[in-house]
Structure 1
Amino acid sequence: MTISISKLYCLNPTGFHRISCTVWSALHHARPLVCAHGFSRNGRDFDALASALSDTYQVYCPDAAGRGHSDWLEQREHYNYDQYLRDNATLLSHITAPLPDEPSRPSPSVDWVGTSMGGLVGMMLGAQPHNPIRRLVLNDIGAQISAASLNRIGEYVRETPTFETVADYQAHLADIHASFGPLDETQWQHLAHHSHRMEDGRVVPHYDPKIASAFDQPVEADVELWSLWSAIDIPTLVIRGGQSDLLASETLDRMVELKPDTQVLEIPDAGHAPALMRDHEIAAIRAFLSDPSLGPD
């Protein structure tokens, strides 16, 4: 298995910025899999999943603009879903381009695993005509998003706390993200290690504080995306944290009612959103992605 970091140039309204992407691969010409993270997180959240699936996939784990090692945008209002869609369309164009040594090889389809914001981006891309996504995994995101959960996320993102040590930051993560599930010490250490930076001798979260512009105003009503869900014609697995405040069980029930072939995995001991770091979570995703009954490879 090899791990590499790619930098892709993407275009925003004031110029170019670079998106950082961690790539995991053990096989040449393996099918591409994109793992897209949540709002304030980064691509290294998927290290456990990517490492496990790199035996059959070439796994791309991008950092969204303003997160991790990707560039920050100049204007706070440019942190929006239009930009995230453009950035990921650039990524999809890159990973599905014909190889120089095999220009006649058909462009591969792509599988997509998205947590929260990353799942919403996957839904938006998957609803587009002629998209290259073969199978879609939505981790605790769906066709209706509660206003209360969005305001909760906005509350902690707007704070931009600082810490004396990485251990202090790790304790903070384990508190605000306890809903990721019962992770062990090593797993929390991993998340803290890859999601902090140093600023003026203090430990701070590894994202641009301007991403909080999405929460400049309180969210007054649930966000409804039923027309988006109806437009998706891709085999889909929806993972729900059993204690989630963002994806209600009633919402998931209605999603399945509208699309009866939707597969569902509930993680009882997690909320928003399961970390996808534990063996049984990874096994369930592997089984869905490799299920021959869902259609041709």
Structure 2
Amino acid sequence: MVSGNSLGLHTARIGTNDGLKLAATVSGERGQPAVILLHGGGQTRHSWRGTVRTLGDLGYHALAFDARGHGDSDWSPKADYSYERLADDLQTIVSTMAAAPVIIGASMGGMTALHAVGRNDASFARALVLVDIAPRIDPNGLKRVSDFLNGYRDGFADVEEAADAVAAYNPHRPRPRNPHGLMKNLRLREDGRLHWHWDPGFFRERSDEKREKHAQRLLAMCSNITIPALLVRGAQSDVVTTSGIDELRERLPQLEVGTVPGAGHMIAGDRNEAFNGAILPFLERHKSA
């Protein structure tokens, strides 16, 4: 099912191979150079809204979707949220495009993209953009993200309280005068309180040993990635480190790296226009496979 709105964006529902429905926002026309955008953990496709609209205006066929357990997408009844399963969902999305896409993944979305691209041949995607993520990241930055995502289990009394929580997590980003845009990320539950849009079963704590095994596995998968790749880092990010980038570049010698000044881990939300400026030259160079 697809519907349109006055911004030239369209919504769609796409079925997964295990019966869930994923919500997507689409711009541009099928047959134009394809771009798929994957948000980070605890975000939704709406974090890409400005980028999706810009790409459509520039002649791309752009699609951003809510990961399972997030936003308007279905929750997994079995809490099946492994990266392998997320990569399966991405593979389904890729199969709906007319041609191999550029895949842009932020944080969790970047990890998902690495899994999917790493396990397929070079025809799966024509290029890869990682947004403030690498296989090995700063444990302190990861803990700060995890604490935020796993906090507030009792929800919020109102949207102002939720906005205060976001402002505390992102002190470098000005608190919006009207926080009601946050309602895209909140759901009113039976207890009468507002809760984040994600399935609480999505965010499970991993031991240091499991995180290390995951990083090693992902780095090994990088040896199968031969397509052009770009990593965009927020200058104020506390998640991606110089050593993490250097380690990734050893496995992906074709990796280009760009930095967005004044942005933290959530680059597209912090400085959307600057983020678009960082990726558009790369996309233009790789409009065709």
TM-score range, shorter chain: 0.7 to 0.9
SS of residue in 2 equivalent to 1:20? strand
What is the aligned partner in structure 1 of residue 226 from structure 2? 233
1:198 is displaced (CA, Å) by: 0.9
How many residue pairs get matched?
A: 274
1:54 is displaced (CA, Å) by: 1.0
TM-align CA RMSD: 2.4
> Is 1:288 matched with 2:282?
yes
The TM-score with structure 1 as length reference comes to 0.83
Taking a change above 3 Å as real, the CA distance of residues 211 and 296 of structure 1, as seen in their structure-2 partners, is: closer
Moved more, 117-126 or 193-202: 193-202
> C-alpha deviations, 1:12-57, integer Å up to 9, x for none?
3xxx2111111122x4532221110001111111001111111211
What is the aligned partner in structure 2 of residue 168 from structure 1? 161
What is the aligned partner in structure 1 of residue 3 from structure 2? none
Q: Which of 174, 199, 203 is the aligned partner of 1:208?
A: 199
What is the aligned partner in structure 2 of residue 90 from structure 1? 92
> Is 1:279 matched with 2:269?
no
What is the aligned partner in structure 1 of residue 245 from structure 2? 252
Taking a change above 3 Å as real, the CA distance of residues 35 and 295 of structure 1, as seen in their structure-2 partners, is: closer
Task: Give distance in 2, aligned partners of 1:17 and 1:260.
Answer: 37
1:194 is displaced (CA, Å) by: 1.8
- 8 Å CA contact 2:100–2:126 kept in 1: the answer is yes
What is the aligned partner in structure 1 of residue 147 from structure 2? 155
Task: Give distance in 1, aligned partners of 2:34 and 2:150.
Answer: 34
- 8 Å CA contact 1:126–1:234 kept in 2: the answer is no
- 8 Å CA contact 1:147–1:219 kept in 2: the answer is no
- 8 Å CA contact 2:159–2:179 kept in 1: the answer is no
Task: Give distance in 2, aligned partners of 1:86 and 1:171.
Answer: 36
Q: Which of 4, 8, 17 is the aligned partner of 1:2?
A: 8
> C-alpha deviations, 1:171-202, integer Å up to 9, x for none?
21222244xx6357279654x13211111322
Task: Give distance in 1, aligned partners of 2:186 and 2:71.
Answer: 8
Task: Give distance in 2, aligned partners of 1:50 and 1:262.
Answer: 24
Gaps of 5+ in 1: 97-107
Task: Give distance in 1, aligned partners of 2:95 and 2:124.
Answer: 9
**What percent of counterpart residues are identical?**
25
Gaps of 5+ in 2: 1-6
Task: Give distance in 1, aligned partners of 2:103 and 2:234.
Answer: 19
